[in-house]
Amino acid sequence: MKNLLIILLLVNLSIYAQQDAQYTNYMYNTININPAYAGSRGVTSIFGLYRTQWVGMDGAPVTSSASINSPIVNSNLGVGLSFVNDRIGASNETTISADVSYTIRTSFAYKLSFGVKGTANLLDVDYSKLNRYDVNDPKFQNSINSEFSPNIGAGTYFYSDKLYLGLSVPNFLQTDYYDDNDVATSLERMHVYLIGGYVFDLSPNIQFKPAFMCKTVVGSPLQVDLSANFLFSEKFVLGAAWRWDAAASFMAGFQVSQGLYIGYGYDLETTKLNNYNSGSHEVFLRFELFKKQERVASPRFF
C-alpha cells in the first residue's frame, strides 16, 4: 500500500502538475514569491532555508532555498537574487531568479512597492527512479535532462512597520515539458499569491502577529495558510499555523543578535498522508548586514 501511495504521489506532483515549493515559514521567505519585497527591510538581507517534507516516505519533497536582497542606496530601487532547489521523487528542479523593485512612499508610515522577477528554470526527471507498471508507456521512455525554461513574474507589496499586504504572480508563463516522443510529461502552471499580516503590541514585552497566505493555481484547490506568532522580549518567537485541509504547524525562532535570526517549523499532516510519514521539518537562518551607525529599535517581524 505504501509503495502504491508513493507512486501515485510522484505521478501527481512530479509528472503532471509541477507546483511551486511549499514553506511553513512563508512570512520570512517572501522574496521567493513576491519580487516587490526586494529591499523592503532597508538593509542587505541574506536568507537560507532547508525543508524536508513527509519524513519517512521514499521520494518525498526536499527543498533548499537561498536568497539575498538589498535596497540600492540613495534610490527607490531594491534588488534581489534567489536560488531554489526542489527534489520530489524522480524530479530535480533548480530555479534561479533576479528581482527588481521600485518603492514609493504613500504616507508617513506606509510604502508601496512594485516588483518584477526574471527566472531561469532547469528541470531533470529520471524515470528510472519510478516503479513503472507499464515500462512501454511513452511518458516514461526518455528522461528529461536539464530542460531550460525562462519565466517572468511581478508583484506589489504594501507595508509599514506594523502591516504588510502583497499580491504576486512569480511565473506568468505556463511551461510544458516534452520528451522525445512529443508527449507532455510535466507542466509548470501560473500561481497567484495573496499574503498579509499585522503586528499587535500586547504589552511592552509581547507582540502578536497573525498572518495569512492564499495560493491558487489552475487545476488545484485553493490553498490557505493561517498563522499566529508571538514575539517575547524582542528575542523569542513561538507560533502555530494551519494549512487548510492539509496540515497543522508549529514554529519557533530566536533573535540571536541584531543581524542574526534562526527559525524552525514542524508540520503535522491532517490528511490520510499522516499514516505514512512522521511530519515535515523546516529550518532557516536570516543574516542582515547593518552599518555601524544603524540601530533597529525593534526587530522586524517580517
11: pLDDT strictly greater than 50: no
pLDDT (0 to 100) of residue 301: 72
pLDDT (0 to 100) of residue 14: 39
- Buried-exposed string 76-115: b where 16+ CB fall within 10 A, e elsewhere: ebbbbebebbbbbbbbbbbbebebbbbbeeeeeeebbbeb
Contact between 123 and 143 under an 8 Å Cβ cutoff? The reply is no
Give pLDDT tens digits for 109-146: 999 999 999 999 998 887 766 666 666 666 666 677 77
pLDDT above 70: percentage of residues in the chain: 80
pLDDT (0 to 100) of residue 271: 87
From residue 116, alpha-carbon distances to 52, 80, 113, 120, 279 in Å are: 29, 10, 10, 14, 35
Query: What kind and span of H or E run contains 81?
Result: strand 77-88
Q: The whole model's pTM is what?
A: 0.85
From residue 270, alpha-carbon distances to 249, 265, 274, 278, 289 in Å are: 10, 16, 6, 12, 39
Kindly report the average pLDDT of the chain as a whole number.
Answer: 85
pLDDT band at 297 (very low <50, low <70, confident <90, very high): very low
Query: Alpha-carbon distance 82 to 4, whole Å?
Result: 35
pLDDT above 90: percentage of residues in the chain: 61
pLDDT higher for 16 or 56? Answer: 56
Query: Alpha-carbon distance 260 to 295, whole Å?
Result: 14
Helix segments in the chain, DSSP class H? 2-10
pLDDT band at 8 (very low <50, low <70, confident <90, very high): very low
Give pLDDT tens digits for 20-54: 778 999 999 899 999 999 999 999 999 999 999 99
pLDDT (0 to 100) of residue 90: 82
Which range is least confidently modeled, 71-75, 133-137, 234-238? 133-137
Nine cell digits for residue 241: 499555523
Closest Cα to residue 35, out of 169, 211, 199?
Answer: 169
Query: Alpha-carbon distance 78 to 186, whole Å?
Result: 33
Give the angle subtended at the CA of 213 by the CAs of 251 and 111, to the nearest 5°: 105
81: pLDDT strictly greater than 80: yes
Which range is least confidently modeled, 66-70, 71-75, 177-181, 265-269? 177-181
Query: Alpha-carbon distance 73 to 81, whole Å?
Result: 17
Query: Alpha-carbon distance 104 to 243, whole Å?
Result: 33
Q: What are 229's strand-pairing partners?
A: 209, 239
Give pLDDT tens digits for 150-182: 999 999 999 999 999 999 999 998 766 555 555
Query: Alpha-carbon distance 38 to 100, whole Å?
Result: 7
